[in-house]
Amino acid sequence: MVAMKENNTVTPATPYIRPPDHRAELLMPAGSLVKLKTAVLYGADAVYAGTPDLSLRTQSDFSLEDLLEGVRFAHEHGVRIYLTLNLFTHNRDIEKLPEFVKTVRRVKPDGVIVSDQGVFHYLREHAPEIDLHVSTQANACSWLTVESWKKQGAKLCVLAREVSFAELTEIRSHCPDIKLEAFVHGAMCMTYSGRCLLSNYLAERGANQGNCAQSCRWSYKVLARKKNGDEVEITPDNKDDFDFYLEEEYRQGELMKIEEDDRGSYILNAKDLCLMGKLDDYLALGIDSLKIEGRNKSEYYAAVTAHAYRQAIDGWYENPETWSAEPYLREIYTLQNRGYSLGFHEGRITNIAHNYDRSATVGGWLFAGSISRWDGDDIIFTPRNGLKAGSVIEFLSPKQLEPIRLRMYEFTNAASGVVSESANPGTGEKNAIRINANVFHNEDLDRIKELLPALTVGRTEAILNQDQQDLLQGNLIAMDVERGLRESGDARPTLKGRAHTGKTPAQGLDSCCGLGCNGCSMFWHDEKYAKARETLKSKKIGEKLKVS
């Protein structure tokens, strides 16, 4: 615990030692009942879900009846479920809270995720038996904030995505008596843990009320205008006659080119977070809950991410000394994604953590479909992408990492029995196909039924054009660079000086002046300034370092 001395200095925390029996929780998103069941099937220890009116996902497909069924299903399978009540309330929302309390008591979840302090204290007063979890929307970035929430009665604190691993380590040491949750996979936001007004201004949809339009991922058209006010229309015929740049006032002469193609220009589009390559660090530190983002993603996404992280977590606990991320990363790379990044894990976010030219996702595999049920010895499989003769379906068994492969030469409609050379996608059983278990020549029937239960998903290889292949390869290389597996020049923007004033700031690493400014990622995270950081601790409040 942390103690304050009489002179108000802080007593250093005792290093946190992970209890030998501690196991991290794999927490999966559940945007619908089928996604919840899929996440449970593929190994989630816990799921989080919410109704559209009071969570931060207005696109959620959960009704109250679905939630009740979801809680029952989760608890029957030994899985915890947390309800999201993480919007920032306006006056109109307050009148819903009494009904929400009734719903919570009826549903009996294992916790409620909250960001608004008013909602937090309302639940503490009116539903004191419910465990409260502090949402990432509350922007907890320090041990002082986490300790404060603990004193108010929080059982768990979800840390902001902006928290580096070094900061997380310090928070864990100072706060051993509250559960900590960290995001390890999913979409990143261009603002402060989701606190954004861009969507409000461009689409009249409030991000902090659960209805973000994701304006940061839109394409923005580049226009040129002459001094007399005439607009220059950029057409396919003249687009190659112009180059367009941004010039920031402190970087005069350093022109940042705005690239635009047929899809537009993307200047705010962060890559997706993927900390699989650093997962062993989080497990060794003793983080209580490892969170996957993506309630709006498909059940295929839920299956692949839960499958890979479940196997990875179990593999580390089984033998941490020989654990490697590579086999599990290969599974994650099969997903359609915007490219992956380590986010703020190292403290400094790199230029390759951003997509400047597109927001399109790319991956080597597509969602082929899922097993809706077994009919005797036949699999009833519902295609979600078109299949044709010669297609290979890789079934992802919840029981093992290695997929079970099956090449299909013909497709039998489950309802009509008509055999054809293709299968069309759909969501019901109208387009479902029937697959007899005897086609799996190397497995006996009972074993196949055990490996491939209902809700098992399958994937099929995507056909990529050259541009998509190049993008996919570039994304894989970028991830290797961030993980330190490849060499790359540090292409972060640099501060060249205030040329318009004639003053040039002292130069340190990249744009860092070395004075110890608050918020400077270079100073606070780079090894070059380790000694300077120690020196700064002895300075008075407001006093900076001097640079010769």
More confident residue, 107 or 377: 377
Separation of CA 474 from chain center: 20
Q: What is the pLDDT of residue 362?
A: 86
180 and 78, same domain (yes or no): yes
Q: What is the pLDDT of residue 55?
A: 55
Q: What confidence tier does 1 reach under pLDDT thresholds 50, 70, 90? A: very low
Q: What is the pLDDT of residue 295?
A: 82
Q: What is the pLDDT of residue 248?
A: 56
Q: What is the pLDDT of residue 472?
A: 86
- Taken as a whole, the chain contains a residue count of 548
CB 165 within 8 A of CB 346: yes
More confident residue, 204 or 98: 98
Residue with tokens 């055990």: 450
Q: What is the pLDDT of residue 508?
A: 40
Separation of CA 515 from chain center: 34
Q: Which of 340-344, 361-365, 377-381, 484-488 has the least mean pLDDT? A: 484-488
174 and 283, same domain (yes or no): yes
Q: What is the pLDDT of residues 511-523, one digit of tens each?
A: 677 788 776 777 7
Residues 175-188 have a mean pLDDT of 94
Domain count within the chain: 3
From 461, 487, 521, the end of a domain falls on: 461
Q: What is the pLDDT of residues 8-37, one digit of tens each?
A: 566 677 888 888 889 999 999 998 999 999
With b for 16 or more beta-carbon neighbours within 10 A and e for fewer, the 289-315 pattern comes to bbbbbbbbbbbbbbbbbbbbbbbbbeb
Q: What confidence tier does 230 reach under pLDDT thresholds 50, 70, 90? A: confident
454 and 514, same domain (yes or no): no
Phi, psi of 3 (to 5 degrees): -120, 145
The CATH number covering residue 111 comes to 3.20.20.70
In-domain check, residue 349: no
Q: Tell me the two tokens of residue 119.
A: 């909602």
178 and 308, same domain (yes or no): yes
CB 406 within 8 A of CB 439: yes
310 and 407, same domain (yes or no): no
Which of these, 191, 259, 247, lies nearest to 221 by C-alpha position? 259
Q: What is the pLDDT of residue 10?
A: 66
Secondary structure (H, E, C), 284-314: HHCCCEEEECCCCCCHHHHHHHHHHHHHHHH
In-domain check, residue 478: no
**How much of the chain, in percent, has pLDDT values that exceed 70?**
77
How many angstroms separate the CA atoms of 417 and 409, rounded?
A: 15
Q: What is the pLDDT of residues 439-450, one digit of tens each?
A: 998 778 899 999
Q: What is the pLDDT of residues 65-121, one digit of tens each?
A: 888 899 999 999 999 999 998 888 889 888 888 888 888 888 899 999 999 999 999
Average pLDDT over all residues of the chain: 83
Residue 524: pLDDT above 60?
A: yes
**Counting beta carbons within 10 angstroms of the beta carbon of residue 92, is it exposed (0 to 12), middle (13 to 18) or buried (19 or more)?**
exposed
With b for 16 or more beta-carbon neighbours within 10 A and e for fewer, the 208-232 pattern comes to bbbbbbbbbbbeeeeeeeeeeeeee
In-domain check, residue 10: no
**To 10 degrees, what angle do helices 143-152 and 117-126 make?**
30
Q: What is the pLDDT of residues 257-306, one digit of tens each?
A: 666 555 555 566 778 899 999 999 999 999 999 999 988 889 999 999 99
Q: What is the pLDDT of residue 501?
A: 37
Residue 332: pLDDT above 90?
A: yes
169 and 90, same domain (yes or no): yes
How many angstroms separate the CA atoms of 199 and 34, rounded?
A: 29
Whether pTM exceeds 0.85:
no
Q: What is the pLDDT of residue 254?
A: 61
In-domain check, residue 284: yes
Q: What is the pLDDT of residue 497?
A: 35
Q: What is the pLDDT of residue 90?
A: 84
Sign of the Cα pseudo-torsion (192, 289, 56, 148, in order): negative
169 and 278, same domain (yes or no): yes
Q: What is the pLDDT of residue 452?
A: 97
In-domain check, residue 359: no
Where does 319-444 have alpha helices with state H?
326-333
In-domain check, residue 328: no
The CATH number covering residue 390 comes to 2.40.30.10
Residue with tokens 């209580």: 288
From 461, 483, 515, the end of a domain falls on: 461
In-domain check, residue 200: no
Q: What is the pLDDT of residue 296?
A: 83
How many angstroms separate the CA atoms of 409 and 159, rounded?
A: 49
Q: What is the pLDDT of residue 542?
A: 66
Q: What confidence tier does 509 reach under pLDDT thresholds 50, 70, 90? A: very low
Q: What is the pLDDT of residue 127?
A: 94
Q: What is the pLDDT of residue 261?
A: 56
**How much of the chain, in percent, has pLDDT values that exceed 90?**
48
Ramachandran region, residue 116 (left: φ > 0; alpha: ψ -120 to 50; beta: rest):
beta
How open is the CA angle 47-281-343, to the nearest 5 degrees? Answer: 70
Q: What is the pLDDT of residue 39?
A: 97
318 and 452, same domain (yes or no): no
Any residues with CB less than 8 A from the CB of 83 and at least 6 apart, and which?
48, 49, 50, 55, 67, 104, 107, 109, 111, 112, 113
From 403, 436, 461, the end of a domain falls on: 461
Q: What confidence tier does 222 reach under pLDDT thresholds 50, 70, 90? A: low
Q: What is the pLDDT of residue 197?
A: 61
Q: Tell me the two tokens of residue 478.
A: 């970028």
Q: What is the pLDDT of residues 336-371, one digit of tens each?
A: 988 898 988 988 777 677 776 666 788 889 999 999
CB 354 within 8 A of CB 270: yes
289 and 156, same domain (yes or no): yes
Residue with tokens 């953590």: 353
175 and 296, same domain (yes or no): yes
In-domain check, residue 193: no
182 and 103, same domain (yes or no): yes
Range of the domain at 539: 505-548
74 and 160, same domain (yes or no): yes
